[in-house]
Amino acid sequence: MRPMTLFAFAAAAVLVLSGVAGAAGDPAHGGGHGEGEGGLSFLQIKRWDLGIFTLIVFGLLLLVLHRFAWPKITEGLAKREAVILGAREEALKARQDVEEVRAKLQKEYADAQDKIRALLDEARRDASALRASEKEAGARDAAAERERAKREIEAARDAALEDIYEQAVDLATTLSAKTLARKITADDHRALLAESLAELKQTAKS
Amino acid sequence: MTTLFGKASIDPFEHVVDSDHIAIFESIGWVIHLPPPLSKFIVFLFLAAVIVGAALIWVAGKMRNGDPPRGRLWNAIESLIFFVRDKIARPGVGEHDADKYLPLLTALFLFIFVCNLFGMFPFLPSPTASIYVTGALALVAFTVIHVGGVMENGLGGYLKTFIPHIDLPSPVAKYTLTIGMAALEYLTAFIRSIILAVRLFANMLAGHTVLFIILFFIKLVADPAYQIDVAKGQGWMYWPVSVFSVLMVVVLSLLELFIAGLQAFVFTFLTAVFIGLAKHPPH
């Protein structure tokens, strides 16, 4: 069945139903309350012009608003939307810039950290090298000093021994002279001394 | 006029429905009579339109430069506009078409809201307590809903969206059910708008009538013209009944204040949903 045909049937049914409902509510048909005193008087059937006046007032209100209010409201809302969108764009751009700056700063910070770490490593290495060289120089100086001291001690010891030998020879010579009751000449003395020293040195070495 | 408890005639709807005068302390005779064809609802409908129009035009001038909102009033009005956009138009109509219907839905919401709020001020009426006011607004909604549906789908296509797809082996049963269901669907298109009108009207009328009745308890125990038999010679009843009535009215007024916003929201939101359904019918 075509839609228009169906609509015609349905419309006819609506009209019939409306007619029945209207007859049921129409006082003239004896089916409802009166419209005058009591009953449904609060409906004020007589003031049907109120509906027309409402339509006129509301229609005029719509026209006035259509002419004087909505264009401005629409314009204002569009501008506000543009401002909000612009502000949003700017905020997003600013945030992006901040992100970029932050990333750059982070990179610089990381580079600086690397540099600091490298400097510290280098300083540590230099310090180690310096400590090692200082230690080596100190050891070298100490060895030289020890050698020098050793030599001085040996020289002092040799001198002391020689002095002791001389005094021992003098004493022995004096004792021998007294024993032999005769004077030993200077040449004898020197020959005895040399001989004694040689023996003494030989004895010390052995 | 009705007779309550067999006493002097009173009409509980008198202060809620439309009239040709605005009564301020009737007992001392402060009554503003309106020349025909004006009525108090007409005056306050006009005032509501002026308030909504002035507020939106004022805030439009402020918003024009795209500056952010400053000040309580500007913030309040803008938040209402955005409330309609974010909580009514977009969820109801859909993201794609919401902005196109935003002016209508905003005007509808604010207009109904202000009309509802009038009733919260002493001596002022709420024009939405009239079925003709809400009916006219529902007619606007009905027109917008179905014109939108036709423009989106074409007349034939839109009418076709009301026809359900029923698969039955018997052609007679199939066409009978299809015609019946389609008739109901077409009827629903009207009923939806009628319900919009009735719901708003009934809520406003009933709310203000209840407030009146509860306050009228004081007269029922204290005013000889309306005094009920139980209260005769019981002067002490005046104070407890008065305190109870006033406290109840305060509490119910707070509820009514909430309902004023809620009903404006419901009317506008359902309109938005119906627009969305008409433009993009479920398959």
Cα-Cα end-to-end distance for chain B: 52
Q: What is the pLDDT of residues B99-156, one digit of tens each?
A: 899 999 999 999 999 999 998 888 888 899 888 999 999 999 999 999 999 998 899 8
Find out whether B249 and B207 touch, Cβ atoms under 8 Å: no
Task: Give the one of A42, A61, A83 whose C-beta lies nearest to B52's C-beta.
Answer: A61
Q: What is the dihedral of CA B124, B126, B127, B128, to 10 degrees?
A: 180
pLDDT over 70 for what percent of chain B? 96
Higher model confidence: residue A32 or residue A65? Answer: A65
Q: What is the pLDDT of residues A159-199, one digit of tens each?
A: 998 888 888 878 887 787 777 766 667 787 788 778 877 87
Residue B7's pLDDT is what?
Answer: 56
Least confident of A140-149, B249-258, B274-283: B274-283
Q: Which residues of B touch A76 (CB under 8 A)?
A: 60, 62-67
Q: What is the pLDDT of residues A72-129, one digit of tens each?
A: 998 988 888 888 899 999 999 999 999 999 999 999 999 999 999 999 999 999 999 9
Query: ipTM > 0.90?
Result: no
Which residues neighbour B263 within 8 Å (Cβ) at sequence distance 6 or greater?
B112, B116, B128, B199, B200, B203, B204
**Best interface-test mutation with A: which of B187, B188, B190 has the largest number of A CBs within 10 A?**
B187
> Between B238-279 and B95-118, two packed helices, what is the crossing angle to 10 degrees?
160
**Contact state of B132 with A50 under an 8 Å Cβ cutoff:** yes
Does residue B176 have a pLDDT over 60?
yes
Q: Which residues of B touch A66 (CB under 8 A)?
A: 103
Residue B283's pLDDT is what?
Answer: 62
Confidence of residue B87 (pLDDT cuts 50, 70, 90): very high
Residue A22's pLDDT is what?
Answer: 39
Domain ranges of chain B: 40-279
Higher model confidence: residue B239 or residue A23? Answer: B239
Does residue B45 have a pLDDT over 50?
yes
Confidence of residue B208 (pLDDT cuts 50, 70, 90): confident
Confidence of residue B82 (pLDDT cuts 50, 70, 90): very high
Residue B9's pLDDT is what?
Answer: 66
**Alpha-carbon distances, residue B45 vs A115, A139, B15 (angstroms):** 82, 115, 16
Q: How high is the mean pLDDT of chain A?
A: 78
Find out whether B279 and B96 touch, Cβ atoms under 8 Å: no
Range 147-176 of B in CB contact (< 8 A) with A: 156, 159-160, 162-163, 175
**Contact state of B46 with A44 under an 8 Å Cβ cutoff:** no
Chain CA centroid to CA B167, Å: 41
Does residue B1 have a pLDDT over 70?
no
**Contact state of A73 with B56 under an 8 Å Cβ cutoff:** yes
Among all residues of chain A, which has the CA nearest to that of B133?
A51
Among all residues of chain B, which has the CA nearest to that of A67?
B57
Q: Looking at the complex, does the CB of residue A67 fall below 8 Å from at least one CB of chain B?
A: no
Amino acid at B221: V
